[in-house]
């Protein structure tokens, strides 16, 4: 009598994690997301650990969440996971400003962004 189960948003061999309201611009976040696209998850975690970018800690947290979702919710093998997709989107922008000379107003925008990471299990080639 209840409602039907929602269909999965990803394939059977995939899992995803999404992180919203990251306090950085999408352009800067995309530089960190490019670091991990297409890599194995252990190599991607190592790259994020030693990255000098401030936002790389939050990206690492999102990647660990995607790995945990794959292991616990979808019964995928962690050793065979790769980062299939890592894409960035815009979120809200706070508008701030400072008074400037001659009655003008200096606009300051503080953008937020969101990150989606999909991990996929691929079989090892011998």
Give the residue extent of every domain in the chain.
Answer: 14-121
- Are 17 and 65 spatial neighbours (Cβ–Cβ below 8 Å)? yes
pLDDT of residue 65 exceeding 80, the answer is yes
Q: What is the DSSP letter of 60?
A: H
Determine the pLDDT at residue 123: 82
Determine the pLDDT at residue 124: 72
Phi/psi of residue 87, each to 5°?
A: -130, 160
CATH class for the region spanning 14-121: alpha beta
* Average pLDDT value for residue range 4-11: 88
Alpha-carbon span 33 to 1, nearest angstrom: 43
Find the helix or strand (DSSP H, E) in which 5 lies: none
DSSP 9-49: SS-TTEEEEEEEEESS-HHHHHHHHHHHTTSBHHHHHHHHH
Determine the pLDDT at residue 125: 65
pLDDT of residue 28 exceeding 70, the answer is yes
Strand, helix or coil for residue 112:
strand
Structure pTM? 0.90
pLDDT of residue 1 exceeding 80, the answer is no
Mean pLDDT for all residues in the chain: 94
pLDDT of residue 126 exceeding 60, the answer is no
- Are 44 and 63 spatial neighbours (Cβ–Cβ below 8 Å)? yes
Determine the pLDDT at residue 93: 97
């Amino acid at each position: 009598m209840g409602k039907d189960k929602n269909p999965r948003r990803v394939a059977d061999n995939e899992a995803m994690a999404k992180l919203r309201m990251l306090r950085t611009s999408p352009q800067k976040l995309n530089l960190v997301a490019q670091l991990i696209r297409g890599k194995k998850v252990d190599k991607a975690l190592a790259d994020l650990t030693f990255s000098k970018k401030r936002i790389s800690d939050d990206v690492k947290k999102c990647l660990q969440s995607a790995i945990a979702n794959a292991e616990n919710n979808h019964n995928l093998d962690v050793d065979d996971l790769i980062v299939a997709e890592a894409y960035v989107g815009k979120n809200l922008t706070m508008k701030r400003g400072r008074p400037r000379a001659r009655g003008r107003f200096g606009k300051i925008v503080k953008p937020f962004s969101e990150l989606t990471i999909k991990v996929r299990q691929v079989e090892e080639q011998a």
